[in-house]
Amino acid sequence: MSTILAKLPIEMREDLKAPLGPIYTDTDELLAEAGDPIVAVGDIVTYHLLEADRRPDIAIVDGKTKRERVEREVLDAIDGFDDRIDVVNPQSTITDDLLEALASAVGRSASTVIVVDGEEDLAAIPAVLAVPEGGSIVYGQPDEGMVLVSISDETRARCRDLLERMESDYERIAEILAP
């Protein structure tokens, strides 16, 4: 049974609309700027990276885009990872299940897809804390493109602040994601 460690309060939704990095519409341009490892959050972002011949080291997907099921070709493309971890993560939350899968996947040499039963929308925030410096998180900005987050002290501080302001058990989150 997964435990919710962070819940997004309604009053914080506006805070998450500002992207954590630059927005790209061209996948090749994004990949030219991306570090290693790459974590993709979202089915469509993962699909675009795969179409550009770059399998993300970690992909976090939920089979949906804008709360609708993704097309079969997207699901089929996402099926080719070395490892798969299934987790439960309800809408507008971050669970220990998701965080433990993320922490586990970061330490693997095999490409890993984390398949979320629920919603993966907030996963980019803890991913910034879990991925080593030099890595990148890529997530979708609805109707705009793909956001590239380069891991730095600044992006980590911003994500730590977001998590601490949520209804969260930040100490437990940090404990799970600690290298």
| Range of weakest confidence among 24-28, 83-87, 175-179 | 175-179
pLDDT at residue 67, rounded to an integer: 66
CA-nearest of 111, 119, 80, 116 to 100 is 116
pLDDT tens for each residue of 90-144 = 999 999 999 999 999 998 999 999 999 999 999 999 999 999 999 999 999 988 9
* Amino acid, res. 95: T
| 43 annotated binding-site participant | yes
| 64 annotated binding-site participant | yes
* DSSP 8-state symbol, 70: P
| 161 annotated binding-site participant | no
pTM over 0.75: yes
Please identify which residue in the block is written with the tokens 């030099």.
134
| 143 annotated binding-site participant | yes
Domain extents for the chain?
18-177
Cis check: omega of the bond before 9, within 30 degrees of 0: no
